[in-house]
């Protein structure tokens, strides 16, 4: 099977990759990561083996871009602005979403990743484990722990 | 008491469609890709009196004009297989083409002055295509005459086949080639489109 036009890849997987970038990096930095992900993917696309799982491939690239950004932030800490809890209202289209994005952002990174890849990108745990470099069981456990915490922090469920 | 939310549905609010952001990001990607030399084929569509045309260009020039009846998705898949899958909707590269087509359909342009990429045609087919612009605006020629111009007077059938598979209809005017008995003959855009173009050119050349 020859590769479809890259525009089809963007149309089919663009929304998922944007959600993944937002989940891993927050709303503001997500768009740069999305742009870098698809540019890198476009570059490598002609050599993609046929039959590849395109979504898992894109999520892997997005993850690398997100981790690069996290590392860059750690290396060069940006001085905090004077407004420690500046309202993020205008950055989120729906007010109630903000609490959920926030709760997701507060998870330990491994759990945040596992929840994102399985529940937001819809990848099976086998793929999640490959991306995380751990076992299927460990991936499943990380996602379950993440969801448990989200239930507590976001839904205010009793633990 | 409401039902507890299932794990699968907990993140549903984060799946809201965001068409505006994605549209903006696609445009940004198309620009960056072109700047970085990664956009092997740029395409867009344009509405004309002969229907919606697909226009596709490589860095070298216009490589494909396709009628709706050719099925634009099929045409793009074919370009991906034959030239490169690095294809994005990117209107900027096609702007000069759209401008000249607009002028042509308004009756203000008699020939196209655009860089062309003929890599989809080879051998005698390419030779035939190169001779099409010699058949002037508002006139017609027979397939026999076209074969003669192309240097193989007896290859009438091959000349007709080259017209039928012209990757750049309208711009390379295969619509001006008709049967020796003056009936229209076939056309990649359909006989109605061929008639529309010839009528337009008759009016424009008066």
Q: How many helices (H) and strands (E) does chain A have?
A: 7, 0
Which residues in chain A have their CB less than 8 angstroms from residue B23's CB?
none
Q: Is B20 on the interface with A (CB under 8 A)?
A: no
User: What band does A158 get if pLDDT is binned at 50, 70 and 90?
Assistant: low
Segments in chain B below pLDDT 70: 1-3, 206
Which residues in chain A have their CB less than 8 angstroms from residue B36's CB?
39
Q: Which of B76, B129, B174, B188 is catalytic?
A: B174
Q: In this predicted complex, what is the ipTM?
A: 0.92
pLDDT given for residue B3 in this prediction: 65
Which residues in chain A have their CB less than 8 angstroms from residue B33's CB?
39, 42
Domain boundary among A34, A54, A78: A78
Tens digits of residue pLDDT in B125-142: 999 999 999 999 999 999
Whole domain around residue A71: which residue ranges?
Answer: 1-78
Q: Is B6 on the interface with A (CB under 8 A)?
A: no
Same structural domain, A73 and A96: no
Tens digits of residue pLDDT in A103-114: 999 999 999 999
Q: What DSSP line would sit under B2-49, residue for residue? A: PPPPPHHHHTGGGG---HHHHHHHHHHHHHHHHHTT--SEEEEEEEET
Q: Is B32 on the interface with A (CB under 8 A)?
A: yes
Whole domain around residue B137: which residue ranges?
Answer: 123-205
pLDDT given for residue A90 in this prediction: 43
Same structural domain, A29 and A72: yes
| Annotated catalytic residue B163 | no
User: What band does A86 get if pLDDT is binned at 50, 70 and 90?
Assistant: very low
Q: What is the number of domains present in chain B?
A: 2
Q: Does the structure show a pLDDT above 70 at A82? A: no
Same structural domain, A56 and A121: no
Using CB atoms, pick whichever of B10, B76, B85 lies closest to residue A46: B85
Residue burial B172-192, b: 16+ Cβ < 10 Å; e: rest: bbbbbbbeeeeeebebbbeee
In a domain, A84, yes or no: no
Q: What is the CATH number of the domain that holds B41?
A: 3.30.160.70
Q: What is the number of domains present in chain A?
A: 2
| Residue A128: partners with Cβ closer than 8 Å, 6 or more residues away | A114, A117, A118, A136, A139, A143
- CA–CA separation, B179 and B158 (whole Å): 14
pLDDT given for residue A64 in this prediction: 95
**Helices A136-153 and A125-132, packing angle to 10 deg:** 100
Q: Is A138 on the interface with B (CB under 8 A)?
A: no
Rounded mean pLDDT, A39-58: 95
User: What band does A159 get if pLDDT is binned at 50, 70 and 90?
Assistant: low
Q: Where are the alpha helices (DSSP H) in chain B?
A: 7-10, 19-35, 72-82, 95-105, 123-131, 143-149, 156-164, 191-205
A101 to chain B: nearest residue by CA? B14
In a domain, A51, yes or no: yes
């Amino acid at each position: 099977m020859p590769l479809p036009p890259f525009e089809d890849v963007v149309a089919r997987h663009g929304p998922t990759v944007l959600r993944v970038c937002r989940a891993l990096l927050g709303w503001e930095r997500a768009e740069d990561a999305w742009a870098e992900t698809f540019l890198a993917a476009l570059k490598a696309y002609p050599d993609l083996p046929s039959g590849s799982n395109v979504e898992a491939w894109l999520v892997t690239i997005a993850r690398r871009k997100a981790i690069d950004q996290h590392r860059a932030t750690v290396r060069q800490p940006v001085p905090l602005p004077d407004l420690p809890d500046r309202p993020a209202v205008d950055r989120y289209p729906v007010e109630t979403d903000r609490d959920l994005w926030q709760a997701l952002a507060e998870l330990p990174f491994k759990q945040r990743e596992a929840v994102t890849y399985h529940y937001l990108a819809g990848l099976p745990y086998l793929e999640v484990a490959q991306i995380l470099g751990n076992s299927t069981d460990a991936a499943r456990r990380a996602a379950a722990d993440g969801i448990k915490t989200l239930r507590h922090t976001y839904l205010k469920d009793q633990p | 008491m409401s039902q507890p939310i299932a794990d699968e549905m907990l993140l549903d609010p984060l799946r809201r469609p965001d068409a505006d952001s994605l549209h903006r990001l696609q445009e940004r990607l198309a620009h960056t890709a072109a700047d970085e030399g990664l956009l092997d084929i740029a395409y867009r569509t344009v509405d004309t009196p002969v229907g919606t045309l697909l226009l596709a260009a490589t860095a070298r020039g216009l490589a494909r004009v396709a009628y709706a009846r050719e099925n634009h998705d099929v045409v793009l898949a074919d370009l991906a297989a034959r030239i490169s899958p690095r294809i994005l909707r990117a209107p900027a590269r096609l702007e000069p083409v759209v401008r000249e087509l607009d002028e042509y359909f308004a009756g203000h342009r008699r020939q196209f002055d655009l860089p062309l990429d003929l890599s989809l045609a080879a051998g005698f087919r390419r030779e035939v295509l190169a001779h099409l612009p010699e058949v002037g605006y508002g006139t017609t020629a027979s397939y026999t005459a076209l074969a003669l111009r192309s240097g193989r007077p007896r290859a009438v059938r091959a000349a007709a086949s080259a017209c039928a598979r012209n990757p750049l209809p309208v711009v390379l005017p295969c619509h001006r080639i008709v049967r020796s008995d003056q009936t229209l003959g076939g056309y990649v855009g359909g006989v109605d489109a061929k008639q529309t173009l010839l009528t337009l050119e008759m009016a424009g050349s008066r």
